[in-house]
Amino acid sequence: MSQQILIIEDEPDIAESLRYNFERENYKVLIAESGEKGLRLSLDEHTSPDLIILDLMLPGMSGLELCRRLRREPETRRTPIIMLTAKVTESDKITGLEMGADDYIVKPFSVKEVVARVRAVLRRSDSGSIPRYEDDKLSIDFEDMRVVCSGNDVKLTRKEFALLTNLAKNAGRVATRQNLLDNVWGYSYFGDTRTLDVHIRRLRQKLGDCGNCIETVVGIGYRFIGMK
The domain 132-224 is placed in CATH, from the list 1.10.3720.10, 3.90.1150.10, 1.10.10.10, 1.10.1740.10, at: 1.10.10.10
Please indicate, yes or no, whether the overall pTM of this predicted structure exceeds 0.75. no
Using one digit for the tens of pLDDT, what is the confidence trace for 103-134? 888 888 899 889 988 887 787 666 555 688 89
Three-point CA angle 195, 90, 67, nearest 5°:
95
Q: Rounded distance, CA 9 to CA 114, Å?
A: 14
The domains of the chain are located at 4-126, 132-224
200: left (phi over 0), alpha (psi -120 to 50) or beta: alpha
Average pLDDT of the chain, as a whole number: 87
Report the pLDDT value the prediction gives residue 90, as an integer from 0 to 100: 62
> Percent of the chain at pLDDT above 90?
48
For 130, the enclosing helix (H) or strand (E) is none
What strands lie across the sheet with 28-32, from one edge to the other? 28-32, 4-8, 51-55, 81-85, 103-106
Cis peptide before 108 (omega within 30 of 0): yes
4-126: CATH topology is Rossmann fold (3.40.50)
Using one digit for the tens of pLDDT, what is the confidence trace for 1-47? 689 999 999 999 999 999 999 999 999 999 999 999 999 999 998 88
H helices, E strands: number in the chain: 8, 12
Residue 215 contacts residue 153 (beta carbons within 8 Å): no
